[in-house]
Chains A and B, each alone.
Chain A
Amino acid sequence: MADEVLSAISICKGFGGILALDHCSIRVKEGAIVGLIGPNGAGKSTLFDVISGFLTPDGGSIVFSGREILGLPAYKIARLGLVRTFQIPRSLMRMTVLENMMLGAQGQAGERLCNPLIRRHKVMAQETEIREKAEEILEFFDLQRMRDEYAGSLSGGQKKMLEMARALMADPRLLLLDEPFAGVNPALADRLIEQIRILKEKGLSIIIIEHAIPYVLALSDELYVLNKGAVLASGRPDAVISDRRVFEAYLGEGA
């Protein structure tokens, strides 16, 4: 379908004897927010790893922006505009918040070994542009006060915000957010919801893994429930959440 930014079809991934993903399929429409929930060990993060190229699946197909990306190295997938964040925030601890941000920008001439030496002006001009953009996004996430601090000194919630902000520096088309609300205090979480909505209005497509169901319901256009590596239910969030099978997957059968 033309208006799908991502379709991952029939993904399988085993670790030894365990099938972490068992013919799992997920589709994301252009500009939509898709929620991904399920009990611990359901395969949500594994699915992110596979889609972003960090893990190679045993089978299936992943089409992003009309292009098969399965088998591409992870850094190339990121360059195409499919950017992921991590469940446990991975800040570059010994770099400042601003450096973390600036790293995210794509197409930097100065990242080629010779350019900082022979094309100084171009590199400097681009650095100024990137810095401005980074500061804008930091402001958006209310992190501008921290710009010169080491990322390692941020709180857990701030690290989560930084990680998302950094991913946005890459101008993604599709953003994979792994538990963006974990460790974020409720006041900040409300703000984060607003921010994610603004991003959606700008045309960004997002998949969110999240355990805090109210946030997922508030944001998602479509909801997928994973259980034991397969899609248990999918569709409109309010319909999916009231599905008896979903209830049982979380609380056990006969609950």
Chain B
Amino acid sequence: MLDYLVSIALTAGIYAIFALGLNLQWGYAGLLNFGHVAFMAMGAYVTVLLSMNGVPLLLAVLAGMILAGAAGAFLGMATLRLREDYLAIVTIGFSEILRFVLLNWSTLTRGSFGLFGYPRPFQDLVGIRDYNLFLAGLVLAVLLLVYILLETLARSPWGRVLKSIRDDEAVAISLGKNAFSYKVQALALGSAIAALSGSLLAFYLQYINPNNFQPIETFYAWIIVIMGGSGNNRGTILGALILWGFFSTTRFMEGYLSFSPTASSGARMVLIGLILIGLMMFRPQGLLGRKEELSIGR
């Protein structure tokens, strides 16, 4: 039972961090990032590859975050002067290109064989038996830090400018705010946070492979953000908990049903889809979102 709770805490915690990055971009700045998984993959691969070559883990994690942040900023600078949907197309394209590069650059990444046997934080100190429990604690501590960081920013004048851009960019500009720069900042910061979640995911899985970073991962983050309520950090964390709680309890029940594994994973996605549709019909603002924010009409 403890193992079960620890595994939920790990996946939900990691995906909560991942989705908090997206919530900053979509919930606060209104940016359509459909390639969020790319930045998670960058975090995982940069951390693993550097640490395998002797770079201290903390530096390796930071390097992944910086690289992902720079990539996010670059994509933003290339597309944000265009209409908002261009960012969506370019980011989804970027995430697939990155996955294929990881699959095919086998001298560096060992392609679809994946990477394993890489260092994990404090693995010698903690020992393998309690490692997941320790890692769950680490993930929750990182989640708390990221949450505090994002809440502080959301309540600051910086967050106010982001929200104004989401609501009406022309107003922000007319009041002297450099909307373009803020959007690039939000993209970079959100991408760096995704990279951090990628490093943690690599520590948890002990084995990474380009196919861990399929586009569906991006849409898990979207489900989490929408379910919890866009623009609400606490809602995002709750959304992650519900999504992974749902995935693991349904996996639990597989034993009682005579579904094949592929059929049951398909059935899970169908169920999640139905839940989302139901939520949009009866609680479109998400679980913790504010109704007033939606009903305010133009």
Interface on A for B, CB 8 Å cutoff?
52, 54, 73-76, 78-79, 83-86, 90-95, 99, 102-104, 106, 108-113, 115-117, 123, 126-127, 150, 152-153, 166-167, 169-170
Contact call B174/A84, Cβ cutoff below 8 A: yes
Interface on B for A, CB 8 Å cutoff?
149, 152-153, 155-161, 163-164, 166-168, 170-179, 185, 189, 292-293, 296-298
Which partner residue on chain B sits nearest A176 by CB separation? B174
Contact call B170/A86, Cβ cutoff below 8 A: yes
| Residues of chain B contacted by A166 (CB below 8 angstroms) | 175
A75 CB contact (under 8 Å) in B156, B159, B176, B185:
B176
Report 9 cross-chain contacts, Cβ distance below 8 Å, ordered by A residue. A52-B174, A74-B174, A78-B173, A104-B175, A109-B157, A110-B158, A112-B158, A152-B297, A170-B176
Bound Cα distance A52, B293 (Å): 30
Known A92-B163, A108-B157: A103·B175 in contact at CB below 8 Å: yes
Which partner residue on chain A sits nearest B156 by CB separation? A116
Bound Cα distance A117, B189 (Å): 14
Contact call A93/B173, Cβ cutoff below 8 A: no
Bound Cα distance A106, B161 (Å): 12
| Residues of chain A contacted by B153 (CB below 8 angstroms) | 113, 116-117
Known A95-B164, A116-B153: A75·B158 in contact at CB below 8 Å: no
Contact call A93/B298, Cβ cutoff below 8 A: yes
Known A110-B157, A112-B158: A95·B176 in contact at CB below 8 Å: no
| Residues of chain A contacted by B170 (CB below 8 angstroms) | 54, 86, 90
| Residues of chain B contacted by A111 (CB below 8 angstroms) | 157-158, 160-161, 177
Contact call A110/B156, Cβ cutoff below 8 A: yes
Known A75-B176, A116-B158, A117-B152: A90·B171 in contact at CB below 8 Å: yes
Q: Told that A90-B171, A103-B160 touch, could you supply 13 new A-B pairs with CB distance under 8 A? A: A75-B176, A76-B176, A78-B173, A86-B170, A92-B168, A102-B160, A109-B157, A110-B158, A111-B158, A117-B153, A126-B157, A152-B297, A166-B175
Q: How many Cβ-Cβ contacts under 8 Å join chain A to chain B?
A: 109
| Residues of chain A contacted by B156 (CB below 8 angstroms) | 110, 115-116, 123
Bound Cα distance A111, B179 (Å): 12
B176 CB contact (under 8 Å) in A93, A106, A115, A116:
A106
B185 CB contact (under 8 Å) in A54, A113, A123, A170:
A113
B160 CB contact (under 8 Å) in A54, A95, A167:
A95
| Residues of chain B contacted by A108 (CB below 8 angstroms) | 157
Contact call B164/A75, Cβ cutoff below 8 A: no
Contact call B177/A75, Cβ cutoff below 8 A: yes
Bound Cα distance A102, B179 (Å): 16
Bound Cα distance A54, B174 (Å): 9
| Residues of chain B contacted by A115 (CB below 8 angstroms) | 156, 158
Bound Cα distance A102, B157 (Å): 8
Known A93-B167, A116-B156: A153·B296 in contact at CB below 8 Å: yes
Known A86-B170, A92-B163, A117-B149: A75·B178 in contact at CB below 8 Å: yes
| Residues of chain B contacted by A73 (CB below 8 angstroms) | 178
Which 4 residue pairs are nearest across A and B when measured between Cβ atoms?
A152-B296, A116-B156, A110-B157, A78-B176
B158 CB contact (under 8 Å) in A52, A102, A113, A170:
A113
Contact call A103/B161, Cβ cutoff below 8 A: yes
Which partner residue on chain A sits nearest B296 by CB separation? A152
Which partner residue on chain A sits nearest B189 by CB separation? A113
Which partner residue on chain A sits nearest B292 by CB separation? A150
Give the interface centre of A73, A93, A170 by most chain B CB atoms within 10 Å.
A93
Contact call B174/A94, Cβ cutoff below 8 A: no
Contact call B179/A75, Cβ cutoff below 8 A: yes
B173 CB contact (under 8 Å) in A74, A85, A110:
A74
Contact call A95/B296, Cβ cutoff below 8 A: no
Chain A nearest CB from B34 CB (Å) reads: 23
Bound Cα distance A123, B177 (Å): 17
Which partner residue on chain B sits nearest A166 by CB separation? B175
Bound Cα distance A76, B168 (Å): 18
| Residues of chain B contacted by A112 (CB below 8 angstroms) | 158
Bound Cα distance A94, B185 (Å): 21
Chain B nearest CB from A75 CB (Å) reads: 5
Contact call A92/B164, Cβ cutoff below 8 A: yes
Chain A nearest CB from B171 CB (Å) reads: 5
Give the interface centre of A52, A83, A91, A110 by most chain B CB atoms within 10 Å.
A110
Give the interface centre of A52, A84, A95 by most chain B CB atoms within 10 Å.
A95
Bound Cα distance A74, B173 (Å): 6
Chain A nearest CB from B159 CB (Å) reads: 8
Bound Cα distance A64, B22 (Å): 41
Contact call A86/B174, Cβ cutoff below 8 A: yes
Contact call A95/B167, Cβ cutoff below 8 A: yes
Contact call A103/B172, Cβ cutoff below 8 A: yes
Which partner residue on chain A sits nearest B181 by CB separation? A75
| Residues of chain B contacted by A93 (CB below 8 angstroms) | 167-168, 296, 298
| Residues of chain A contacted by B157 (CB below 8 angstroms) | 102, 108-111, 116, 123, 126-127
| Residues of chain A contacted by B175 (CB below 8 angstroms) | 78, 83, 103-104, 166-167, 169-170
